[in-house]
Amino acid sequence: MKSWGLVDYSPVFLAMKAFTEARQAGQPDEIWVCEHTPVFTLGLAGDPVHLLQRSNIPVVQTDRGGQITYHGPGQIVVYPLLNLHDYGLKVREYVSLLEQVIIDSLVAVGVPDAQRKPGAPGVYTWRHGQLAKVAALGIKIRKGCTYHGLSLNVDMDLTPFTHINPCGYAGLETVDLRTIGVKISLSEMQLLLVKNLQKALDSARSAGSPPVNPPASG
């Protein structure tokens, strides 16, 4: 696992794109983890109309799927840089795997109703009688290899989410773990999430595939 710490979005985006473009056959996969400084990112099919309010937070056009989302401190961002062929996974299966990893991690810390929402990638929990989003997904596949990934809201300023239609859905509430009563540090949740991701990938990996780099200790 490579930890970038708290970092601007664009350098990491360019680095994972370059890593994927330069990949050679048999090159080990990597998992990158970070927090981003405040930024709105707009996917390939993203419509700027979903940015409801301008602010000093930059908007970056990126090449993942999906609409607009927000990244900021207190949110775990995980970028799996994988060769999907080594895991026998198709794109939809990979998305489902990521969602299940998040769900399993949330259930483990006391969110028993963590779930998918049909037609809306990500992970949700019930709040105020409706589903609220706690984790988002956005991926890119290039030559059978993945970049971009997932984000999980742990303990962050949620105000910027009110400046957008999150992932293109008007009126969708976005929550973090603190808001729904889960007290866990960012580092603890990060380690649990990456551990569960590696476990899921190990289960899916085809015979003879290269190992994912293990997480750093501590």
Q: Is 139 annotated as a binding residue?
A: no
Kindly state the helix (H) or strand (E) to which residue 7 belongs, with its residue range: strand 2-7
The length of the chain, given as a count of residues: 218
Q: What share of the chain is helix, strand, coil (3-state, %, to 5)?
A: 30, 30, 40
Q: Is 138 annotated as a binding residue?
A: yes
Q: Is 46 annotated as a binding residue?
A: no
Q: Is 25 annotated as a binding residue?
A: no
Q: Is 23 annotated as a binding residue?
A: no
Cβ(166)–Cβ(174) below 8 Å? yes
Active site residue 167: yes
Q: Is 69 annotated as a binding residue?
A: yes
Q: Is 122 annotated as a binding residue?
A: no
Q: Using CA of residue 86, residue 92, residue 98, residue 100, what is the dihedral sign?
A: negative
From the candidates 31, 78, 167, 193, which is the catalytic residue?
Answer: 167
Q: Which residue has the tokens 């929402």?
A: 117
Name the binding residues: 64-71, 136-138, 149-151
The residues that are catalytic are 167
Binding site residues for substrate, as ranges? 64-71, 136-138, 149-151
